[in-house]
């Protein structure tokens, strides 16, 4: 009997994460939607997947805390089976400002959520996927950002720094586990129509900046989800330690 294909999507209740969860479900994966606070949003995505014949669970957990991450993965082990794919999508963004206006607490929180979550979830995934530990392989896709290259001056240097760390983690882990059946890649979205811009204090940010995008429009979450899905599946079987910039040419 073959194992079910199981995906964990952190930050899966909205935006890019929600589109990723639905896309994997459409392709026969058992889906775990991880989220931190919005019960209604998570249940709405779960209900949509279930109504379309998919298998989905929701797990409320702060993935920047080790004990919560362990609980998340143990729940998936018990209810869905061994994880095949991990999508590290959970992240936060704070109000736009210059670097000298960023508090120490804010900088620490952004790095803790955006980087520590990626580290902790990848750690648990490797323990289950790696042939070194009796696993059968798997894939990890990290959701970085075009900000990791542009630096987000005058807006979110702390966020950009966190995504730079995610890029480095992606490359290092990919090389570390390449011979153990695990591929690790990342997608760098930029100027995508999601709720995250409201967290930065400018809900219409994409519209303001779209003229700077060579394609002259913002991206849609589904377009990023398709890139993530490609990297996570056998369609990209010889790709690891790589990045897709979903930025409309920026």
Q: Which one, of 212, 208, 206, lies nearest residue 224 by Cα?
A: 206
Residues 155-170 have a mean pLDDT of 97
- Model pLDDT for residues 100-129, shown as the tens digit of each residue: 999 999 999 999 999 999 999 999 999 999
Residues counted in the chain: 250
Percent of residues, the chain, with pLDDT higher than 70: 96
Pairwise CA distance, residues 107 & 97, whole Å: 12
> Mean pLDDT across the chain, nearest whole number?
94
Residues 35-56 have a mean pLDDT of 96
Q: pLDDT at position 197, please?
A: 56
- Model pLDDT for residues 168-224, shown as the tens digit of each residue: 999 999 999 999 999 999 999 988 887 765 656 667 888 887 888 888 898 899 999
Q: Verify whether residue 29 is a known catalytic residue.
A: no
Q: pLDDT at position 211, please?
A: 83
- Give the confidence band of 1 by pLDDT, cuts at 50, 70, 90: very low
- Whether 159 shows a pLDDT value over 80: the answer reads yes
Q: pLDDT at position 3, please?
A: 74
Q: pLDDT at position 200, please?
A: 61
- Give the 3-state secondary structure of residue 159: helix
- Give the 3-state secondary structure of residue 198: helix
Pairwise CA distance, residues 20 & 246, whole Å: 14
Pairwise CA distance, residues 73 & 96, whole Å: 34
In the chain the domains, ranked by start, together with CATH numbers, are 6-244 (3.40.50.720)
- Model pLDDT for residues 47-103, shown as the tens digit of each residue: 999 999 999 999 999 999 999 999 999 999 999 999 999 999 999 999 999 999 999
- Give the 3-state secondary structure of residue 148: helix
- Helix, strand and coil in the chain, % to nearest 5: 50, 15, 35
Give me the catalytic one of 29, 35, 156, 159.
Answer: 159
């Amino acid at each position: 009997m073959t194992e079910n294909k199981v995906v964990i999507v952190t930050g899966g209740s909205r935006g890019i994460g929600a589109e990723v969860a639905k896309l994997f479900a459409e392709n026969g994966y058992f889906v775990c939607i991880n989220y931190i606070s919005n019960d209604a949003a998570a249940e709405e995505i779960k209900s949509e997947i279930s109504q379309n014949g998919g298998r989905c669970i929701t797990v409320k957990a702060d993935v920047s805390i080790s004990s919560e991450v362990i609980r998340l993965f143990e729940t998936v082990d018990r209810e869905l089976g061994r994880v095949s794919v991990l999508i590290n999508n959970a992240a936060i963004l704070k109000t736009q400002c210059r670097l000298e206006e960023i508090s120490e607490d804010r900088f620490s929180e952004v790095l803790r959520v955006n980087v520590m979550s990626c580290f902790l979830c990848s750690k648990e995934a490797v323990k289950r996927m790696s042939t070194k530990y009796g696993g059968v392989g798997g894939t990890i896709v990290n959701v970085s950002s075009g900000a990791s290259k542009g630096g987000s001056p005058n807006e979110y240097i702390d966020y950009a720094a966190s995504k730079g760390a995610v890029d480095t983690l992606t490359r290092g882990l990919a090389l570390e586990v390449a011979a153990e059946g695990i591929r690790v890649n990342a997608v760098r979205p930029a100027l995508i129509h999601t709720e995250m811009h409201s967290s930065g204090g400018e809900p219409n940010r994409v519209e303001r900046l779209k003229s700077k995008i060579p394609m002259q429009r913002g991206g849609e979450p589904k377009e990023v989800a398709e890139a993530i899905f490609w990297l996570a599946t056998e369609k990209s079987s010889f790709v690891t330690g790589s990045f897709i910039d979903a930025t409309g040419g920026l």
